[in-house]
Structure 1
Amino acid sequence: MAAFVTLATNDSYARGAMVLGKSLRNHNTSKKLVALIGPQVSEPSKSVLERIFDEVKVVDVLDSGDTAHLAMMKRPDLGVTFTKLHCWTLTDYSKCVFMDADTLVLSNIDELFDREELSAAPDPGWPDCFNSGVFVFCPSMETHGKLIQYCTEHGSFDGGDQGVLNGFFDNWATADISKHLPFIYNLSSISIYTYLPAFKQYGGHAKVVHFLGKTKPWSYKFDPRSQQITGSVHDADTHSTFLVDWWILYSSAVVPMMQQQYGDQPFHSGCEEVNGEKTGLSSCVTYPPEAQMSAEERKEKWEQGQADYMGMDSFDNIQKKLDSFLK
């Protein structure tokens, strides 16, 4: 049995996972869909994911029965990485394709299951490394254990899962060219403007777009009538076509399910108002803001090793805080 696997550690990335799952369904994948989620994902978001994915599994690296538990006590900086490595524990499946929640499928990609572990596309920043946003792997508790051990002993050269995986699968660049996926299976949106002629030549064949960078699709606003993206003008202009594709799928396929789950609870609009009027739920999404924790609650989460490394406690936010103190 084979499956596409993704990971969402909070409600923001859960929205990305919902769109990814729907894009796989829309392109008629014959494979199972699995979502790993962190304990911070809300129940309504989990319910929506359960309608899209065949299996939704809560993973918590602080579970005392988890092999990553003691390792994380030594390396709390790699909390999100330990969570992502859970995908190797999905031993009900013989082969899987992992996809980050900020990816969008543009056509059927079931042929990826013909590839072997570890197959991935080159990273645009350093092509001798693979990008860990899309990769083929074979679940194995033995491999999982070795990855955890490597992670604990060597850490990550980039602070995340990509550094760990490239260190562990260190012969990817030279051993077997068949494990190098074509770039069309992991088209980095930020690469479009770094080599625009190549994008114009080959971009039409893209099968997966990966929204790399600080600003994710769900961070923008969308006017469903004009189909215009607003937010960071530079970023939005860079990959506006793909962003519009993401938002159209989000508003048409995901919003109705979210509305059903949240019911009368207040929503924060992800769309622009048109002529002072709010757009209907049938046209666009309104979603709840992330739950705000008190300073004491955040401190307690940190002490428990449950910092929101992909949200409020991201490296960028920590850096901003440090910069403000240094000034």
Structure 2
Amino acid sequence: MSEGLSADRPAASRHAYVTLVTNADYALGATALARSLRLTGTQADIVVLHTGGVETDRLAPLAGLGCRLVATELLATSDGFNARHAKREIHGKNPFTKGRKPDFHSPLDNFCKLRLWQMTDYETCVFIDADAIVLRTIDRLFAYPEFAAAPNVYESLEDFKRLNSGVFVAKPSLATFEAMMARLDAPDAFWRRTDQTFLETGLPARRRKHGLPSYMNMLQYVWFNLPELWDWKQIGVLHYQYEKPWEQDHPKAERLKPLIDLWQAYLTGDNIPDIAALPGPSPHPRAGSGAA
């Protein structure tokens, strides 16, 4: 494989679903994700990029699900870049205001997603964050052009102006990777939302960008903020942004209980329901309806 990557075995397909694991919590998340992908019947490889923050025993369940394990180093970025994107700079100066995230990886880890373009043993990669599950076959994404991602919809229609990098399509190319790195680490470059900001603006012009429907990256807050957009019969990927389904008693656990229960079913493989038959969220009361 390319410099900075080390795989436990050769690729077995032209296509791959790829996720990134940076600590024990995300290894747990990736286990639910990998099982959900297996249940769709996909023949694509399931690849887990993992950093040095993950202990070997935490990767064992992923190996047991047939995942290809690929160790990744952080990108070879400059000291100035690393200082500007340190955790205290990104999260300290730009705290989350819409929801809460547990302690998780350094913002520098996020840029490891860009290593997908180094994985030239694949024709197409579909990246999926480890805090997501796949509810039905999404193999058609391998036919999408790059770069393709869904909007960051979870609160209002204004969200359509930004992408969410929790799911995206990439066509590996070392030339593209080198061009991306040159722009990523340009003098004084600062990417406030890390990989998401970069992927919105930093790809070579001919590579960007094509839209995926929101159903291919359905963010969990849609459940209570925009219930009219929720349709179990269409959702391909359910993404647990902000609070994670493995957290104990997080602030929105009661409101999101149906989604947390679903994630737990995929984690264990027990009592996975018929997705299309699941009840949807309660709609917002209509103005003037008299509802309290």
TM-score range, shorter chain: 0.7 to 0.9
* Structure of larger gyration radius: 1
Instruction: Determine the C-alpha separation between the residues in 2 that align with 1:129 and 1:157.
Output: 14
Report if aligned partners of 1:99, 1:134 keep a CA contact under 8 Å in 2.
yes
Tell me the equivalent position of 1:10: 23
Tell me the equivalent position of 1:292: none
Higher relative contact order (CA 8 A, sep 6+): 2
Report if aligned partners of 2:19, 2:49 keep a CA contact under 8 Å in 1.
yes
Instruction: Determine the C-alpha separation between the residues in 2 that align with 1:109 and 1:198.
Output: 19
What pairs up with 1:8-157 in 2 under 5 angstroms?
A: 8-61=21-74, 68-69=75-76, 71-76=77-82, 77=85, 79-124=108-153, 126-153=159-186, 155-157=189-191
1:206 to 235, 247, 254: 235
Tell me the equivalent position of 2:274: none
Call closer, same or farther: CA 1:91–1:186 in 2, change over 3 Å.
same
Deviations 1:78-125 (A, max 9, x none): 521332211211110010100000111111111111111111111116
For structure 2, the residue ranges without an aligned partner over 5 or more in a row are 1-13, 86-106, 271-292
What pairs up with 1:204-283 in 2 under 5 angstroms?
A: 204-213=233-242, 215-220=243-248, 231-233=249-251, 235-252=252-269
- Shift of residue 171, structure 1, vs aligned partner: 6.5
- Shift of residue 43, structure 1, vs aligned partner: 1.1
Give the TM-score normalised by the residue count of structure 1.
Answer: 0.65
- Shift of residue 128, structure 1, vs aligned partner: 2.3
Secondary structure in 1 matching 2:136: coil
Call closer, same or farther: CA 1:118–1:49 in 2, change over 3 Å.
same
Tell me the equivalent position of 1:276: none
Instruction: Determine the C-alpha separation between the residues in 1 that align with 2:63 and 2:238.
Output: 24
1:219 alignment partner AA? E
Aligned length: 228
Instruction: Determine the C-alpha separation between the residues in 2 that align with 1:19 and 1:107.
Output: 14
Tell me the equivalent position of 2:201: 167
- Shift of residue 192, structure 1, vs aligned partner: 2.1
Tell me the equivalent position of 1:258: none
Instruction: Determine the C-alpha separation between the residues in 1 that align with 2:147 and 2:258.
Output: 31
- CA-based RMSD: 2.1
Call closer, same or farther: CA 1:232–1:73 in 2, change over 3 Å.
same
Give the TM-score normalised by the residue count of structure 2.
Answer: 0.72
Higher helix share: 1
Using the aligned pairs only, state the percent identity.
28
Secondary structure in 2 matching 1:205: coil
Deviations 1:50-85 (A, max 9, x none): 222441011112xxxxxx32x142311252133221
Secondary structure in 1 matching 2:162: strand
2:182 alignment partner AA? Q
2:247 alignment partner AA? S
2:146 alignment partner AA? E
